[in-house]
């Protein structure tokens, strides 16, 4: 449990605007030495490291905790939304646009543009490979279904023919 600040705490008795400035400074990356120097020059208050540490625990840690919670919520939403987005296609379009812009620039570094173009082509090859795999998997499923139909001794030739047309989308 956090201790209650003393009633004579110099830092907690600063005007609210100065408390917020100190808090924001510490959250913004001030070192304790910087904060102590600021307090002395701007607020005419001398303080100790221990008092500043207590101030940080009371004023900054709750803000950091809220920021972390908000960041976690944002991350959850992003992960949820990421599942609904075709990121590869979106990124590929951005890369294509960059390649186009590089190629229009007369001062463009040809080697970098070529590397970027190769990445685009590699990505397209990967997309084509993924499509081929999906098509082959679908064809394999249809072949397995067709094999099961041909081996089914309970079906008549007409029923087998109708079922095969259905499997292969011919009828």
Span 163-171, mean pLDDT?
Answer: 82
pLDDT at res. 41 = 94
What integer pLDDT is reported at residue 167 of this predicted model? 83
Average pLDDT over residues 47-59: 92
Q: How confident is the model at residue 50 (pLDDT cuts 50, 70, 90)?
A: very high
pLDDT (0 to 100) of residue 153: 84
Predicted TM-score (pTM) above 0.85:
no
- C-alpha torsion angle, residues 105, 111, 117, 122 (rounded to 10): -170
**What integer pLDDT is reported at residue 35 of this predicted model?**
94
Residue-wise pLDDT for 1-38, tens only, equals 556 666 667 898 899 999 999 999 999 999 999 999 99
Query: Are 12 and 58 within 8 A, CB to CB?
Result: yes
Residue 40, pLDDT score: 94
Read off the DSSP letter of residue 104: H
- Burial environment of residue 35 by CB neighbours within 10 A (0 to 12, 13 to 18, 19 or more): buried
* DSSP states of 79-133: HHHHTTS-HHHHHHHHHHHHHHHHHH-TT--HHHHHHHHHHHHHHHHHHHHHHHH
* Assigned token pair, 46: 């001398």
Smallest CA-to-CA distance from 17 within 37, 47, 46, 42 is with: 42
Q: pLDDT tens, 98-152?
A: 777 777 777 777 787 778 778 777 877 888 898 899 999 988 898 888 888 888 8
157 vs 89, higher pLDDT: 157
How many whole angstroms separate alpha carbon 48 and alpha carbon 109?
A: 56
Q: Closest by alpha carbon to 42, among 19, 8, 12?
A: 19
Q: HEC states along 6-49?
A: CCCCCCCCCCHHHHHHHHHHHHCCCCHHHHHHHHHHHCCCCCCH
What pLDDT is stored for residue 16 in this prediction?
93
């Amino acid at each position: 449990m956090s201790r209650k600040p003393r009633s004579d705490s110099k830092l907690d008795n600063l005007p609210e605007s100065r408390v917020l400035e100190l808090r924001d400074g510490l959250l913004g990356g001030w070192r304790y030495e910087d904060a102590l120097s600021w307090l002395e020059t701007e607020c005419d208050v001398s303080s100790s490291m221990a008092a500043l540490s207590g101030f940080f625990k009371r004023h900054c840690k709750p803000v950091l905790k809220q920021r972390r919670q908000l960041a976690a919520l944002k991350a959850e939403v992003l992960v949820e939304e990421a599942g609904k987005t075709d990121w590869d296609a979106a990124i590929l379009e951005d890369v294509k646009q960059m390649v186009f812009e590089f190629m229009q620039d007369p001062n463009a570094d040809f080697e970098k543009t070529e590397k970027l173009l190769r990445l685009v082509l590699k990505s397209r090859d990967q997309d084509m490979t993924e499509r081929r795999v999906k098509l082959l998997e679908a064809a394999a499923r249809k072949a397995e279904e067709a094999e099961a139909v041909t081996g089914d001794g309970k079906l008549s030739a007409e029923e087998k023919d109708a079922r095969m047309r259905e499997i292969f989308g011919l009828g």
